Each structure stands twice: as structure tokens, then as C-alpha cells.
Amino acid sequence: MVGITSYGAYIPLHRIDRNVIYSAMGWLDPATYMAGEKAVGNYDEDAVTMAVAAGMNCLNGIDRHIIDGVYFGSVTLPYKERQNAGIIATALDLRSDIKTADFAGSTKSGTTALLSAYDAIKAGSAKNILVCAADCRIGKPGSPQEESYGDGAAAFLLGENDIIASFQGSYSVSYDFMDSWVADVERFSRLGESRWIREEGYTKFIPEAVTGLAERYKLEPKAVAKIGFPCLYPREHAGIGKRLGLEPGQIQEHMLNTLGDTGTAYPLILLVTALEEANPKDNIVIASFGYGSDALWFQATEKLTAIKDKRKGVKKYLASKQMLTNYQKYVTFRNIITVEKGVRGETVPWEQVSLAWRNRRELLGLVGSKCKKCGTPQYPRQRVCVNPACKAIDNMEDYNFSDKKGSLFTYTEDHLVFNFNPPQIYGMVDFDGGGRFWYDITDCASDSLKVGLPMEMTFRRKFIDEKRGIYAYSWKAMPVRV
Amino acid sequence: MGSIKDKVAIIGMGCTKFGERWDADAEDLMVEAFTEAIEDAGIEPKDIQAAWSGTQFVEVNIGSSGIPLARTLKLPFIPTTHVENMCASGSEALRGACYAVASGACDIALALGVEKLKDVGYGGLPDISLGAEGKRSRLVSPNFSAPGNFAMMATRYFSRYGLSPEAGKEMLAKVSAKSHHNGAMCEKAHLRREVSVETIMKAPIVAWPLGLYDCCGVSDGAAAAIVVRADMAKTFRPDPVYVKALQISVSSGEELMYTDYDYTHVEPTYRAGQAAYAEAGVKNPREEISMAEVHDCFSITEAVTMEDLQFSPRGKVKEDIDAGRFDLDGEQPIQTDGGLKCFGHPIGASGLRMMYEEYKQLQGKCGPRQVKNPKLGLTHNLGGFPPSCAISVIIVGN
């Protein structure tokens, strides 16, 4: 049997009330009005960093050496060339003899990645595959996408042992239906006419995939505990449920008004939410949308109960939020408008790729060293032990700091250094179990820190080398969030 | 441990006007300080047998190697070396000259520190990614500034000793107000204005809890010293100043990566001080050191340095500050020329600028800010950040 063995989700800290966007840009096209709020990534987040956050949560308590592959689905890949799944695998400090792939081009690529992982395990070419999906889409100012798009990520580990939800079957449809597209030279998506998308695509492809699944496996509507599919239009979303013969209670809450349309991550986030609420034996169906639809059927097992407390899940992340009350900040964080950084802010070191490669586990994986003689964990990696009473040479083993919590030893809020969300906050973290170093601190409001505050680590963009087109990733500290 | 006590004397010094020297290149500043130093010593350039220059951000001003010094001052074919230990580079140049003379390798040596900071186009120090930190460090360390690094020491100090932000900031404000008072009397100082404790406390924050007046001036400037064998010093002038101790101590990573360090003091300052007192034969620094120029890059640095140099007991510097101990008319005047705070901080020049003040004080030439009958003067120069730094402590006397 093959199925889901773990799950994780990630929703960024910031939310923006759509009224804030509408107040700023609604004058351009009053019809763009949407209710509710949506999640927006911080200035240092993108699809890769959010996928790593979801992946870290998914792998909590799991031996990372068992993972044979990473599949990543997104339509907002930070790199067109440089494999994004490879960055995620390095950040999670996985083995190097694994298969990695980016799944892109449509918002159903996350479910397709799940299906491909299932196929590989079923065929026997891998035992455990991590599937991540994340999107961080931006809409042109004044566009409906600017109102609807939200940022988020989800991750699943698929395998054959300790299954929490078994894979029961799937049905896919694929169409070159241009509801939303981005050409290679474009930054923003373009949409077809919404009436056409609703009538010819959205309300047809999802029912076609789900009905196909039900007929293929003789799955009765009343046997389904929950079905989750993206909500692009609230009225049609409810209509699809009715057409499929489902009661409102069987439809997974779509979160369009609390989280937004998270693109490729959307159906996977719905699956996490469904699992959080599921009981053993529950049948869960999720369907994606975008150039067709994949419908996937899972059945929860007894092992689901035990894992729930160890996962942050969607609900806790949704509850943990800070409102972004300023539209200008939102478009600055997403690099939609160009702000004055000053000469100091423009001065960034060039990323030396050979150095980054040599130190990839330290820089991208936050792997330090632990002295085998005295047991002192240390970061950055040292050849000579930093413990003044030890100083053993070349007697170290790898030690991963990325999943360690700690406490804030000291900090400052710096107004001199440029930051897209000033002040620039940084401080020193004393890790539980030993080790100390200083880090940038993110996802933290001014005036909210104090000495001794519990901290955790988070993978972020450290700086952008615009001249050479490089996002330099690294780990930052943040107050423990959920 | 060996000692160079009383083996070396300073017979001439020069120091430029510090400040935003839009009129001058680094080379102009070098000539200005050098000219004053050789005139003060009564020697000619050809008498100099070896030379050391100290500059940190070479890539934004003089360029690397000993060549810029030799070329600018036209010191032909003598051993000339560039040294760098971040903000302690000026003291490092002086150390090169003193050790060379003490070893007998030469009789007359030049130490010159220079820094031209105000051509980078923005406030504060040049961005560390321009070369002051290793490449790997830029990728693992925070995107920080100098004030932020020292601010973290104030955060810890306030937390450890139970000072409210107001009480802590008031203590630091008194440190800066004192330096402004002294700097206002000093013609070559960068910032020459008295500032009240109230104004200092209300100033905009640069890096919490440090405000504008907790930070030293970012300046251009140069300073130079002529060093000779102690036994020949009086043939040049009647009042040479003798080196009693010269010690350097450098962090090896434990403060940054091992959890013993408290970040409320600077360990290498304590170590260099201890070594210098042993070399000079000082038993009670609080009583025996007449005056000091310490590395007050930020007000908190001066405060904890008073404790590290044992001028104040641990955790008690606030009492001494409140009692006016370190004021010009106090028992142990500190920063009689305004310090880095007001005289200014052209990185490579600062260690030698400190020595310029102690030299002039010991010769009784400081006019309205003259310390009465000084016996021993101390300079303390800090390169780097509290958990990772190079410290020099030098003691001089007649």
C-alpha cells in the first residue's frame, strides 16, 4: 500500500484585508472588489522558502535520510533555470542520491507531483518522496488577481510505511484551456474572460475529473467524508458541490476569504485541512484546477490521529497573523514598485557560486558541527572546537541547527542598514542543546522582542544580487510562531 | 612574557583636523599628519628607517600595501608595511614601529594611521560587504551595522543589571555629554558642540537602544608618531613620552559561538588590560592610571570599557558616571579630547589620535582641557565587534 505518511503546511505571517488593496487600486476597476483577506509573504519569502517551511514541518520527527526524492509544484518558481526542488532538498539537508524535479506550468502541477510520487513508489523506484507545492503569485496593481491571489505552501511525504492516508485512486483531465497564462517574457499573469472561464472551464473540468474518479472506482457521493477543490468563484464553488450530489458539510471550507487563491498549493492546502479534521476510514477527495484537473482519493488510517499533534497544520497558521495595513508596503515587499534603497542598500556582495557550493550544507542547510570529544554544537562549522576547555582538532560530526529551537540572547533594531521592512532586526540565539550564533530576525514586529524570547529558524532570501540575477538564500531566526 | 617597558619613546606626533574633509584626499591627510610629526620631532624624512601604515577600508581610500605611504611621503627604499586590525589598525601601526625599535632592528620609525571614509556616499561605515568581512561571513552573519552590534551589548547590559531603558539610556547619555563637553574645547575635533543629556536621550534611534548621540563621528583624518630608542629620546627633545606597556588581545570565537560569554563586557579588553598592567607594573589601575583615551565608538563601549579596564567595579560603572569620576575635573578623566565620539573616528587613525592626546597631555600642552599633573596615560583601541574583536591597550608616561 502507498499513501501519505506525513503532512505539513505553511501560511505566511502577514495578511492583507482586501479593502486595503481595493482602497488603493479599486478606482481603476470597481468590479475587482472581493471580500475578506489574503495571506502575503514577507519581503524575504518566495515559493521556495515557503515550500521549505512546509517541508520542515512535514519532516518533523522523521529521519531525513529515508527520503528518495523531492517533487516541487509551483507556477512562481524563483528560478527558470536552477532547479528549485534542488534548493529545497539542500535546505532540508537531504541525501544527494535522490530524484528531484520541478512541476510547473499550471496550478494543477502540485497534484500531478503527488501522482508522480505515488507512481514512482508504486513502481518500486523510490520508497519515500517529499512533495511540496507553493505559490507566491502577484497580480498587476488594479487587477482581479491582485485581490484573489494568496501565498502559501503544503508538503506531503509519500511512502509505504506508517501511512496516515492511503492512496485509493485518481482521475485526470488535461486541456489547453487558456484561463490564465504567463509567457516567458512576462511577469504578471493574464486572464481570459471570467464568464468563459466559469462556464467552460472551472465548472466543467473539476466535475469531469471527480465524476470520472467516482465512476472508475464506484465511489458513491455519500461515502465521501470531505471533498476539497479550489475556489475561484464562491457561487460556482458551491454549485459544483451541488452538481456532484454532495451536501454542503461534505465540501472542505475553501478559505478564499481568509487565505486567498494559493495557486498550485491550493488543493494540497485543502488536503492538509481535510486531514486535520478527518477521522480514521474517512474518504477524502481533492481536485485541482488549471489546464484540466486531477482528482485524487485518499482514505485516512488509524495512524492519522497520532501525527496530528506533531504538525502545525493550516488552522494554527491561519490563526497566527499580522495585518499589513499599508498597500504600499505590500507592493514593496513583492517588488512591484521600486523603492529608494540608498547607496548602502544597493551595495550587496556578489554571490560567489563556487563558495556557496563548497559550503552548501552550512549555508543552505544550516548544518554546523558538534565536537565528538566535548559534545559542543557550533555554527558556523569549525575545524577546531570552540569550547575553550577542549579545542579538539578535526574531531567533529555534522549537527543540524535548522530544526532546533532556542532563546534570544540579545538583539537590536537597526535603522542604519537597509531593509524592505525597517528596522533591520537581528540578534544572537542560544540554541536548546547548545550552540550560539547571530542571525537576521524576520517575521517580527518592532518593539516585540525581549531577551529570553523563544526562537526558531526559518529559511529565507538573505539578499538579492540583482546584477547577477541571484537570490541568496539562508536561514534567519524568528520568534516561535505556532 | 617579555616586555618593551621603557625601551621605546615617542618624540614627535602629528594629527590632522578630523571631520568631513571634503577638501582632502587620504594622501592630503597623510602629508598633513606626517609634516606635523616630523616638525614636532625635529627630524627630516630621510632620518626615518622603517614605516608602518594603518588603514582598514583600503579599497575605498588609499589602496593596499605599504606602497601608498612610501609613495605619498616619498620615503624611498625603506621597509614600509601596511597593517590592519580593523578599528585598532592605528595602534597596530604603532606596535609595528615600537617593536621594531625595541628589537634593535632600527632606531627611528614612523607609524601613521589614515582613513578617508567620507567618499562612499552614505552615512555610517562603509558596507562590510566592501571587504571588511570575509565572504563566507557575509553569507552566515546578519546584515548588520556597527551600531547594531554594540547596541546588542547595551541590550544585554540593561537586561543583566536590571536597568530600565530610561535608566540605561540616561547612563549612556551622560557618557556622551561628557565627551561633547571636552570635544568642544578641542580645535581639531570633528564635533565641537556641547549637547545636553536631555537632547541626547531624545535623539532619533540609530540601533535600539542607541540613539544618534550614542554613536561616534564618522570622520576623515590621519595621525602619526615618530618612535625612537628610549636611550636616544632626550637628544631630540626634553619631554619625550615613554612606552610603558603595549598589548594586544584578539577574540578566538568563543564569545561568538560558545555560550559562556555574557555580552555585557569585552573579554579581550579585560585580557589586554591585565597584560598591559603587568607589563607596566600597574597594581591598581583605578588609582594609578591618570587618564585614558578609550575606544568609545558607542557610549555603551566606553561604559563597559571602564569595567573591563578595572577603573570601575563590574556592574558599577553607572555609580562612577553619576559621580563624575570620568569628567575632565573628575578623579580619572576619560576622553579629554572628546574621544571617538566628538574628535571623530577615521578608523585607521584613531589609535594614533588617542596617543596624540596622551602625548600632549603628558607634555602639559592641552590648555583648557589639561589634566593636572598626569603620570600615566592609557589608550584602548577596539577593532571589530564585542564578541569578535582585536583590542590594543597601550600605557605611556614620562
| Predicted confidence (pLDDT) per residue in B27-66, tens digit | 999 999 999 999 999 999 999 999 999 999 998 889 999 9
**Which A positions 443-462 lie with beta carbon below 8 A of chain B?**
451, 462
* Same domain? A374 vs A350: no
Q: Give yes or no for A423 touching B (CB within 8 A).
A: yes
**Closest approach of A480 to chain B, Cα-based (Å):** 19
**Closest approach of A157 to chain B, Cα-based (Å):** 30
* Same domain? B282 vs B352: yes
pLDDT digits (tens, 9 = 90+) for B249-266: 999 989 999 999 999 999
In a domain, B205, yes or no: yes
* Same domain? B392 vs B353: yes
Amino acid at A168: Q
**Closest approach of B95 to chain A, Cα-based (Å):** 27
Q: Where are the alpha helices (DSSP H) in A26-178?
A: 47-58, 84-91, 109-123, 144-148
In a domain, B129, yes or no: no
The DSSP secondary structure of B60-95, one letter per residue, reads GTT-SSSHHHHHHHT-TTS-EEEE-BTBTHHHHHHH
Chain A positions in Cβ-Cβ contact with residue B142 (cut-off 8 Å): 424, 426-427, 438-441
Residue A254, helix vs strand vs coil: coil
Whether B207 sits inside 8 A of A413 (CB atoms) is yes
Which residues form the domain of A394?
367-400
* Same domain? B39 vs B78: yes
* Same domain? A387 vs A254: no
Whether B143 sits inside 8 A of A410 (CB atoms) is no
* Same domain? A433 vs A387: no
Quick one: pLDDT at residue B121?
A: 87
Q: How distant, in Å, are the alpha carbons of A221, A444, B226, B289 from that of B138?
A: 57, 22, 38, 39
Q: Measuring CA to CA, which residue among A233, A231, A240 is closest to residue A259?
A: A231
Chain A positions in Cβ-Cβ contact with residue B263 (cut-off 8 Å): 409-410, 428
**Closest approach of A139 to chain B, Cα-based (Å):** 30
Out of B130, B145, B258, closest to residue A387 by CB: B258
pLDDT digits (tens, 9 = 90+) for B353-372: 999 999 999 999 999 999 99
Q: And the C-alpha cell for B15? A: 594629527
Whether B155 sits inside 8 A of A423 (CB atoms) is no
Whether B207 sits inside 8 A of A412 (CB atoms) is yes
Out of A376, A438, A472, closest to residue B142 by CB: A438
Whether A419 sits inside 8 A of B143 (CB atoms) is yes
For residue B138, name the pLDDT band (cuts at 50, 70, 90). confident
CATH code of the domain containing A459: 2.40.50
Residue reference for cell 484573489: A148
Chain A positions in Cβ-Cβ contact with residue B206 (cut-off 8 Å): 414-416
- pLDDT under 50: residue ranges of chain A: none
Quick one: pLDDT at residue B134?
A: 66
* Same domain? B103 vs B44: yes
Determine the residue of chain B that is closest to A418 in CA distance.
B143
Active site residue B181: no
Out of B135, B207, B254, closest to residue A416 by CB: B207
* Same domain? A133 vs A173: yes
Q: Where are the alpha helices (DSSP H) in A80-170?
A: 84-91, 109-123, 144-148
Catalytic residue chosen out of the listed positions B15, B82, B87, B215? B87
Chain B positions in Cβ-Cβ contact with residue A453 (cut-off 8 Å): none
**Closest approach of A472 to chain B, Cα-based (Å):** 8
Could you tell me how far CA B343 lies from the centroid of its own chain?
11
In a domain, B136, yes or no: no
* Same domain? B372 vs B331: yes
Q: Measuring CA to CA, which residue among A72, A159, A165 is closest to residue A120?
A: A159
**Closest approach of B60 to chain A, Cα-based (Å):** 13
Which residues make Cβ contacts (< 8 Å) with residue A68, sequence separation at least 6? A95, A98, A99, A126, A127, A128, A129
Q: And the C-alpha cell for A374? A: 566535548
Catalytic residue chosen out of the listed positions B82, B180, B295, B345? B345
* Same domain? A280 vs A373: no
For residue B127, name the pLDDT band (cuts at 50, 70, 90). confident
* Same domain? B293 vs B225: no
* Same domain? A355 vs A275: no
Instruction: Indicate the DSSP class of residue A30.
Output: G
* Same domain? A324 vs A371: no
Ranges B121-125, B183-187, B259-263, B276-280: which has the least confidence: B121-125
- Phi then psi for B92, rounded to 5 degrees? -65, -40
3 state SS for A336-370: CCCCCCHHHHHCCCCCCHHHHHHCHHHHCCCEEEE
Chain B positions in Cβ-Cβ contact with residue A451 (cut-off 8 Å): 155-156, 159
Residue reference for cell 561633547: B180
Question: What's the average model confidence in pLDDT over B174-184?
Answer: 98
pLDDT digits (tens, 9 = 90+) for B10-37: 999 999 999 999 999 999 999 999 999 9
At CB < 8 Å, which residues of chain B contact A? 120-124, 127, 129-130, 135-136, 138-145, 147-149, 151-153, 155-156, 159, 204-208, 210, 253-254, 256-260, 263, 387
Number of domains in chain B: 2
CATH code of the domain containing B76: 3.40.47.10
* Same domain? A19 vs A34: yes
Quick one: pLDDT at residue B133?
A: 58
* Same domain? B298 vs B160: yes
In a domain, B2, yes or no: no
Which residues form the domain of B38?
8-123+221-235
Whether B256 sits inside 8 A of A378 (CB atoms) is no
* Same domain? B80 vs B155: no
**Closest approach of A432 to chain B, Cα-based (Å):** 11
Whether A387 sits inside 8 A of B254 (CB atoms) is yes
Asked if residue B131 has pLDDT above 60, the reply is no
Rounded-to-5 percentages of helix, strand, coil across chain A: 30, 30, 40
* Same domain? A195 vs A275: yes
In a domain, B131, yes or no: no
* Same domain? B44 vs B21: yes
Quick one: pLDDT at residue A323?
A: 97
Q: And the C-alpha cell for A480? A: 516561535
Q: Give yes or no for A412 touching B (CB within 8 A).
A: yes
Q: Measuring CA to CA, which residue among A151, A155, A152, A138 is closest to residue A72?
A: A155
**Closest approach of B63 to chain A, Cα-based (Å):** 19
Angle at A231 between CA A228 and CA A232, to 5 degrees: 150
In a domain, B128, yes or no: no
In a domain, B130, yes or no: no
Chain B positions in Cβ-Cβ contact with residue A386 (cut-off 8 Å): 253-254, 257-258
* Chains A–B, number of C-beta pairs less than 8 Å apart: 136
Q: Give yes or no for A416 touching B (CB within 8 A).
A: yes
In a domain, B286, yes or no: yes
Quick one: pLDDT at residue B132?
A: 53
* Same domain? B306 vs B180: yes
Residue reference for cell 454532495: A246
Which residues make Cβ contacts (< 8 Å) with residue A353, sequence separation at least 6? A470
Test the A interface: residue of B172, B216, B259 with most A CBs within 10 Å: B259
Test the A interface: residue of B125, B133, B152 with most A CBs within 10 Å: B152
Q: And the C-alpha cell for A3? A: 499513501
Q: Give yes or no for A380 touching B (CB within 8 A).
A: yes
Out of A415, A439, A440, closest to residue B206 by CB: A415
Active site residue B380: no
Q: Give yes or no for A349 touching B (CB within 8 A).
A: yes
**Which A positions 427-446 lie with beta carbon below 8 A of chain B?**
427-428, 430, 434-441
* Same domain? B391 vs B272: yes
- Whether A344 and A418 have beta carbons less than 8 Å apart is answered as yes
Chain B positions in Cβ-Cβ contact with residue A438 (cut-off 8 Å): 141-142, 144, 152, 256, 387
Number of domains in chain A: 3
Whether A347 sits inside 8 A of B127 (CB atoms) is yes
Whether A436 sits inside 8 A of B254 (CB atoms) is no
Chain B positions in Cβ-Cβ contact with residue A439 (cut-off 8 Å): 142
CATH code of the domain containing A95: 3.40.47.10
How high is the mean pLDDT of chain B?
96
End of a domain among A383, A400, A417?
A: A400
Q: Give yes or no for A382 touching B (CB within 8 A).
A: yes
Q: Give yes or no for A339 touching B (CB within 8 A).
A: no
* Same domain? B226 vs B351: no
Whether B156 sits inside 8 A of A474 (CB atoms) is no
* Same domain? A34 vs A135: yes
